[in-house]
Chains A and B, each alone.
Chain A
Amino acid sequence: MSTTSPAPAPVPTLDISQTAPVPFSRLVRVEWRKMLDTRGGFWLMIATAILLVITVGLVLLVVALNDDPIEIGANGFSQILTIPLSLLLPVFPILSVTSEWGQRTGLVTFSLEPNRVRVLLAKVTSVVLLALATIVVALVLGALGNVVAAAMDGTDVVWDLELDTLLLTILLQLLYFLMAYAFGTVFLSSPAAIAVFYVVALMLPLLVYSTLYAIFDWAQDIIPWIDLQYAMTPLLDPDDDATTMDGLRILVTVLIWIVTPLVIGTRRVLSSEPK
């Protein structure tokens, strides 16, 4: 049976001249909202807030129970509070990407904004904003803790947090967020990306590298080239003058753990078909 061909009527056109593209700021707002508006996102945020409060509480408890004054100082608080921030929060940048595939929201996201590069940039932006926002909250909490701790000991409040150190701490936190984000784009799967991120960012440095570093000379030469935290350490130590070598090490670790996965992952996102 032959088919009737459609009448060669002129195809009516769609007038798009009056329509502006979706502004980038709106895409960022939507991506920000998407990180927090699910049940998972909500509880992850609550859990982080609780961790932060518990950490400050524990430090104050130690100060209160100790008979001799302990000087924690702003620097001490800053170092301690990066721990609760780096525990759960990197899940946000991972899920921001992977849930588009795992929860299949990519169908809607990419049909409302077909330019996937813009969506990816909006996600990175919202992820960085989230990192900065949580750091601000942690700083406020730390400052309060610092004042309270000094008051409890009856000593002067010590504001010994150097700007360099603060900025480097923030940079390190951001780099870990970007790493998590990059892993999300590479795997496009929440469990895989989360597992690999925590192995690379937490387990290896904490369990493996630390042991090797303490025992073997060669490990002390190699590890700072392959781990972000170890590469950063000399710069975070105020007594240590940074060398060109230190800069190179950071560059190499950033290349390995952030730039490379970002390039691979971005290509994956652009070429994959969200089902």
Chain B
Amino acid sequence: MISVEGLTKRYGAFTAVDDVSFVAQPGRVTGFLGPNGAGKTTTMRVMVGLTPETQGRVTIGGHLYKDIPNPGLHVGVLLDASAQHAGRTGREILQLGATTMGLPSSRVDEMLDLVSLSAAESRRRLRNYSLGMRQRLGIAHALLGDPSVLILDEPANGLDPAGIRWMRGLLRGYAERGGTVLLSSHLLHEVEQIADEMILIGRGKIVAQGDKKSLLDHGQAASSLVTSLDNEKLAAALAAKQYSVEVAGDGLRVGTDPVEVSRTALEQGVLLSDLRSGAAGLEDLFLELTSDTQREGHPAAATQQGAIA
């Protein structure tokens, strides 16, 4: 439902977004993943008309955002949860949105309930909100008009683990009812558990896209890690079949998939104590794909939190 076509945004000599194309389909959660400064926010800002594009275009349900009447009823947007007047109460912020969209005040209460902000919290001013509360308020604001498309920039930022789980459930349910969700993150583990589809971006360019499985399958040589009661015999048999074999810890790393290793072991009558895919995980893939586009010299730094998860 969101269609990005050849989008490019330049600021002088700097290209923030470089010929980006992708589609976010209804009924699916699309994760927009990349290190900080990769161009995720700029792309989303162009989507909602806050930033003019240099080339290309973005349509939402076939329309340019600026052509959608009362856009809050169709597209829920959360670009920055802290971009609200610090002197306004949470409830008042929602009320202003509801008034603009022409919604009754009861909708404000419903949304406060939905994001678990209590009546007392809703009367506090935004400057006294924690980042997690601001995110909840921002998500409530995006959902006010019951839109069919959601565009959320780093919505999990600042949420505690329970909050992240809550948001995951919320967005999953929303997509299952046919909504289109595009959410960005610089943390892989936030996205991989919720997104049906992933767009990986680095330095303004899309480096990979697809669902989790196709991303993992794509371009990676099959590899297995195996430990058996007779590693030497197994290694010899596998080597005879022209597979690469090397010692890895207590076991072997073999250049074929686990099924082939298992078959060979069966033929040779070698008992296995451990057999698993040796393919790199999404984490490695993400780092590999964005390594030449990382800001930091040391790629691990950008996804440290992902590694912990």
Contact = CB atoms under 8 A, between A and B. Distances in A.
A16 B65 CA distance: 11
Contacts of A107: 50, 79-80, 83
Q: Which of A2, A13, A29, A106 has the largest count of B CB atoms less than 10 A from its CB?
A: A13
A67 interface: no
Q: Which of B51, B61, B67 has the largest count of A CB atoms less than 10 A from its CB?
A: B61
A97 to B, nearest CB: 13
Interface string A170-204: 00000000000000000000000000000000000
A108 B83 contact: yes
A243 interface: no
B61 A26 contact: no
A4 interface: yes
Contact of B99 (A13, A33, A106, A274): A33
Interface in A14-44: 14-16, 19-23, 26-27, 29-30, 33-34, 37-41
Contacts of B25: 9, 12
A160 interface: no
A114 B49 contact: yes
B225 interface: no
B219 to A, nearest CB: 4
Contacts of A155: none
Contact of B219 (A1, A30, A105): A1
Contact of B209 (A6, A39, A111): A6
Interface string A120-137: 000000000000000000
A114 B47 CA distance: 11
B83 A38 contact: no
A1 B88 CA distance: 49
B17 interface: no
A115 B66 contact: yes
A19 B61 contact: no
Nearest to A21: B69
Given A16-B74, A34-B96, A273-B50, A114 B88 contact: no
A110 B214 CA distance: 38
Contacts of A20: 69-70
A112 B65 CA distance: 10
A38 B67 CA distance: 31
A244 interface: no
A267 interface: no
A11 B1 contact: yes
A19 B96 contact: no
Contacts of B87: 38-41, 103
A: contact size bracket: 35 or more
B75 to A, nearest CB: 8
- Is the contact region of chain A dominated by helix, strand, or loop, or is it mixed? loop
A4 B214 CA distance: 8
Nearest to B149: A14
A274 B50 contact: yes
Nearest to B51: A273
Contacts of B149: 14
A12 B96 contact: no
B218 interface: yes
B219 A14 contact: no
B59 interface: yes
A39 B124 CA distance: 11
B209 A14 contact: no
Given A1-B208, A6-B209, A108-B141, A13 B84 contact: no
Contacts of B86: 103
A104 interface: yes
A233 interface: no
A41 B96 CA distance: 15
A112 B101 contact: yes
Interface in B38-79: 45, 48-52, 59-63, 65-74, 77, 79
A189 B236 CA distance: 74
Contacts of A75: none
Interface of A: 1-4, 6, 9, 11-16, 19-23, 26-27, 29-30, 33-34, 37-41, 99, 103-108, 110-115, 273-274
The 7 closest A-B pairs by CB, nearest first: A14-B61, A104-B83, A38-B87, A13-B62, A21-B69, A4-B210, A1-B219
27 contacts: A3-B208, A4-B208, A12-B61, A13-B63, A14-B63, A14-B68, A15-B61, A20-B69, A22-B69, A22-B101, A22-B102, A26-B99, A30-B99, A37-B96, A104-B84, A105-B84, A105-B85, A107-B79, A107-B80, A107-B83, A108-B77, A108-B97, A110-B50, A111-B48, A111-B79, A114-B68, A273-B51
